[in-house]
Amino acid sequence: MTAEVKQGMSRRDFLKIAGLAGAAVQVGGFLAGGKATGSSSETYTGWESYNSGTQFFNRKPFEVEYPNFTPIAEVRRPSHLTDYVFGRVGMFQKAYEAKPEWTLDDPIEDLGFPPPLIAFYKKFPERLEWDYITFSETIPNNSVDRKEYGAFYTLLDVYEAGFGSINPKAPTSPPEESDFTMMGRGGPQPLGDKIPFKSPELATEFFKEISHRFGATLVRMTVPNIDWHYGDGWRGCPPEYDHSKLPAHYKSAIVVGVPMEWDEVLGSPNISTSYDAYARVSIAAVRIEGALKKMGYASRASTPNSSYDMVVPPYAVDAGLGEHCRAGYIIAPETGSNCRTAVIMTELELAPDKPIEFGVKEFCNDCKICAEQCPSGAISFADSYEGLEIRGYEHWYINNGACYNFWRESMGGMGCRLCVANCPYSRKDNWLHDMSRQLDPRDPTGIVRGTLLWMQKNFFDAPEALDYRRIAEGGHFAQYRDEPYWLHGETYLDIPITDPKEVK
How much is the pLDDT for 46?
A: 47
Measured in degrees and rounded to the nearest 5, phi and psi for residue 307 equal 75, 175
- Could you read off the pLDDT of 5-33 as tens digits, one per residue? 345 556 666 555 556 555 444 544 555 55
Q: Tell which residue, 229, 217, 321, 343, has the closest CA to residue 276.
A: 217
What is the pLDDT averaged over residues 472-493? 93
| pTM as predicted | 0.88
- Could you read off the pLDDT of 205-214 as tens digits, one per residue? 999 999 998 9
Q: Where are the domains of the chain?
A: 70-420+463-502
What's the residue count for the chain?
Answer: 504
The pLDDT of residue 43 is above 90? no
The pLDDT of residue 102 is above 90? yes
What is the pLDDT averaged over residues 139-150? 95
Q: How far is CA 499 from each of CA 148, 155, 287, 300, rounded to the nearest angstrom?
A: 10, 13, 41, 44
How much is the pLDDT for 339?
A: 94
What is the pLDDT averaged over residues 103-129? 95
To the nearest whole number, what is the mean pLDDT of the chain? 89
Distance in angstroms (rounded) separating the CA atoms of residues 412 and 425? 25
Residues above pLDDT 70, as percent of the chain: 89
Q: Predicted confidence band at 266 (pLDDT cuts at 50, 70, 90)?
A: very high
Q: Pairing relation of β-strands 218-222 and 340-346?
A: unpaired
C-alpha dihedral sign at 148, 153, 157, 158: positive
What is the pLDDT averaged over residues 484-488? 92
Three-state DSSP state, 384: coil
Q: Predicted confidence band at 503 (pLDDT cuts at 50, 70, 90)?
A: confident
Q: Tell which residue, 37, 58, 56, has the closest CA to residue 45.
A: 56
In 325-400, where do the E strands start and end? 330-331, 340-346, 389-390, 393-394
Distance in angstroms (rounded) separating the CA atoms of residues 273 and 279? 11
Q: Using an 8 Å Cβ cutoff, are 343 and 55 in contact?
A: no
390 pairs with which residues across the strands?
393
Q: Using an 8 Å Cβ cutoff, are 272 and 264 in contact?
A: yes
Q: Predicted confidence band at 4 (pLDDT cuts at 50, 70, 90)?
A: very low
Q: Max CA-CA distance within the chain?
A: 70
Prior bond to 78 cis, omega within 30?
A: no
How much is the pLDDT for 48?
A: 47
Distance in angstroms (rounded) separating the CA atoms of residues 410 and 322? 28
323 pairs with which residues across the strands?
331
Residue 2 makes CB contacts below 8 A (sequence gap 6+) with: 444
What is the pLDDT averaged over residues 414-421? 94
How much is the pLDDT for 66?
A: 83
Cα atoms in the 13 Å half-sphere on the side-chain side of 75: 14
What is the pLDDT averaged over residues 480-491? 92
Q: Predicted confidence band at 185 (pLDDT cuts at 50, 70, 90)?
A: confident
What is the pLDDT averaged over residues 337-350? 97
Q: Predicted confidence band at 357 (pLDDT cuts at 50, 70, 90)?
A: very high
How much is the pLDDT for 135?
A: 97
How much is the pLDDT for 288?
A: 97
The DSSP 8-state label assigned to residue 465 in this structure reads G
Q: Tell which residue, 401, 497, 478, 468, has the closest CA to residue 130.
A: 401
Measured in degrees and rounded to the nearest 5, phi and psi for residue 26 equal -60, -45
- Other CB atoms within 10 Å distance of the CB of residue 464: 13
The pLDDT of residue 363 is above 50? yes
Distance in angstroms (rounded) separating the CA atoms of residues 464 and 108? 35
Residue 493 makes CB contacts below 8 A (sequence gap 6+) with: 151, 154, 155
Measured in degrees and rounded to the nearest 5, phi and psi for residue 364 equal -65, -35
Q: Predicted confidence band at 183 (pLDDT cuts at 50, 70, 90)?
A: confident
What is the pLDDT averaged over residues 64-70? 85
Distance in angstroms (rounded) separating the CA atoms of residues 137 and 94? 16
Distance in angstroms (rounded) separating the CA atoms of residues 162 and 221? 31
- Report, in this order, helix, strand and coil percent for the chain, each rounded to 5: 45, 10, 45
Residue 474 makes CB contacts below 8 A (sequence gap 6+) with: 466
Q: Predicted confidence band at 167 (pLDDT cuts at 50, 70, 90)?
A: confident
How much is the pLDDT for 344?
A: 98
In this structure, the dihedral spanned by the alpha carbons of residues 116, 408, 271 and 432, taken in order and rounded to 10 degrees, is: -40
340 pairs with which residues across the strands?
258
What is the pLDDT averaged over residues 465-478? 94
Region of poorest pLDDT, from 48-52, 321-325, 413-417: 48-52
- DSSP per-residue letters across 86-104: HHHHHHHHHHHHH-TT--T
Q: Using an 8 Å Cβ cutoff, are 155 and 142 in contact?
A: no
